[in-house]
Structure 1
């Protein structure tokens, strides 16, 4: 306990000293390589061949392995995917456009104002998803490691999962139950929820875990409470995150670059909350399902 107390005091001292340095013009940029592993064994409900699964996995590779750029100052940050051209013949344009609705666009965080904004485009319409920053109860661990030239400290938390997080969706009853301790309770909750509305029964065959265990590595050498995606709240820049099957690793840091990118709040799109945006997605997906051969006679069905 004494060693942990000394470690935390050292971190806070480094933070307070650093806060007095370059307070006005401090800015940095961090590059992250992200990778998500999906279990394709249950994909398609057993109705797809191994070859079809392989083709889908190849198409999804551009979604599952990405490069992101985090620009940050003392209180604000922007996080967006690195722009790059699709390879010839990859067929990624339409596929990427459709799946980006599930994975999100450029993101802005402001620690002082406790706000997170994310640009989103869904079926040709622009949205600006606005919410409070997620409250993460970090536990500072007594473990360190080196990432590049930075000494990093370990922290862990339990993080709720967004119900429309495509990367964590799986077939109901699948094998990935590592983060779900109480299956019986969860099944009861799901049954109750499915009776509320017939408009979301397309999601009856898939589920998203209620939470994930997150391990982060942060460095007090860069004294900002920033990190990739919606991760924040530690006494130093987060350089690595491991959450479920996703890994985010910082591969490059540029401090006080000569050509600084302006960190601005996004303003494009209809302002909605995350819950409101999720409902818009559900309604549209259900509408599409009914139009193109789902259960019941939607607008595309014939009348007798």
Structure 2
């Protein structure tokens, strides 16, 4: 049954892909939920509400995906920030967001991002995600979407999947799918990612690093984060110009992860030093 569904969708995609100058624009809303115990500190509901409001810019974002048959650019929509709106909640010096470029024909993925004021251009091969196609469907706007899932290994630097360690129950709980980040923080080793895609828009693309399905991905559920398409414009009157990002130091994903790890360890040492009354300061980039 799954093979028949896949073959049918691919036939639709091939027919529609024959259209010349096929392009579009999709707007996505991203929302992440967090634990509200805030490290076990005693807080009133009003205090929690104020903190969540300040964190809103980090937890709720709008992204724009411009795409053609083979290429796409995915980036956060720029917004003017109100005074005190929570720019300090950028997870230390991690700016996040950035711009993700994909070329699904060439298997090329570039991510332009910022870390502690320095720009990086992360290059990697866009390997075909190992999706498992399902027959379940649902309607998103005017589009019929099909379900697909994959198991993804979490990154040690993805704050969205981090959670406070409950040491009181460590002996009771199953820790086979849990990895320690710090003495206070942990995260699952793997998570199940659910995608909803529509063959009515026959491009093998989607938000962020997600792609590889016989239709545009309109929704992603990844751990505590949901990314949902809220608006689509097909073949807009103004031509979409997609260019590879070029700004930043070229670096591989492995090299970038190493830099992030070093900066996280440095931040941890600085925090410990401050608590001990001896702030040794941090090292800059060289």
After TM superposition, the score normalised by the length of structure 1 is 0.81
Q: 1:156-210 CA distances to partner (integer Å, 9 max, x unpaired)?
A: 11122221001111122389x9xxxx944456x75xxxxxxxxxxx823212221
Q: Give me the whole-angstrom Cα distance separating, in 1, the residues matched to 2:166 and 2:109.
A: 33
Per the alignment, do residues 273 and 203 of structure 1 end up closer, same or farther by CA in structure 2, a change over 3 Å counting? farther
Structure 2 equivalent of residue 34 of structure 1: 30
Q: In 1, are the aligned partners of 2:23 and 2:240 still within 8 Å (CA)?
A: no
Out of 270, 275, 283, which is 2:262 matched to?
283
Q: Give me the whole-angstrom Cα distance separating, in 2, the residues matched to 1:184 and 1:93.
A: 34
Q: In 1, are the aligned partners of 2:108 and 2:125 still within 8 Å (CA)?
A: yes
Structure 2 equivalent of residue 85 of structure 1: 80
Give unpaired runs (5+ residues) of structure 1: 191-201
Q: Give me the whole-angstrom Cα distance separating, in 2, the residues matched to 1:204 and 1:233.
A: 37
Per the alignment, do residues 114 and 58 of structure 1 end up closer, same or farther by CA in structure 2, a change over 3 Å counting? same
Structure 2 equivalent of residue 12 of structure 1: 10
State the Cα distance separating 1:237 from its structure 2 match. 0.4
Report the 3-state secondary structure (helix = DSSP H, G, I; strand = E; otherwise coil) of the residue aligned with 1:12.
Answer: helix
Single out whichever of 125-134 and 279-288 deviates more from structure 2: 279-288
Q: In 1, are the aligned partners of 2:93 and 2:117 still within 8 Å (CA)?
A: no
State the Cα distance separating 1:92 from its structure 2 match. 3.4
Q: Give me the whole-angstrom Cα distance separating, in 1, the residues matched to 2:248 and 2:226.
A: 30
State the Cα distance separating 1:147 from its structure 2 match. 1.5
Q: 1:191-241 CA distances to partner (integer Å, 9 max, x unpaired)?
A: xxxxxxxxxxx8232122212111111111111110011110000000111
Out of 61, 68, 71, which is 1:66 matched to?
61
Residue 108 (structure 2) pairs with residue 115 (structure 1): yes
State the Cα distance separating 1:52 from its structure 2 match. 5.1
Per the alignment, do residues 114 and 5 of structure 1 end up closer, same or farther by CA in structure 2, a change over 3 Å counting? closer
Matched ranges for 1:20-59 at <5 A? 20-22=18-20, 25-41=21-37, 43-44=38-39, 46-47=40-41, 49-50=43-44, 53-59=48-54
Higher percent of residues as strand: 2
Report the 3-state secondary structure (helix = DSSP H, G, I; strand = E; otherwise coil) of the residue aligned with 2:57.
Answer: helix
Per the alignment, do residues 291 and 35 of structure 1 end up closer, same or farther by CA in structure 2, a change over 3 Å counting? closer
Structure 2 equivalent of residue 160 of structure 1: 153
**Number of aligned residue pairs:** 276
Higher percent of residues as helix: 1
Report the 3-state secondary structure (helix = DSSP H, G, I; strand = E; otherwise coil) of the residue aligned with 1:279.
Answer: helix
Q: Give me the whole-angstrom Cα distance separating, in 2, the residues matched to 1:37 and 1:206.
A: 16
Structure 2 equivalent of residue 265 of structure 1: 244
After TM superposition, the score normalised by the length of structure 2 is 0.86
Per the alignment, do residues 148 and 174 of structure 1 end up closer, same or farther by CA in structure 2, a change over 3 Å counting? farther
State the Cα distance separating 1:135 from its structure 2 match. 4.0
State the Cα distance separating 1:141 from its structure 2 match. 0.8
Q: In 1, are the aligned partners of 2:56 and 2:86 still within 8 Å (CA)?
A: no
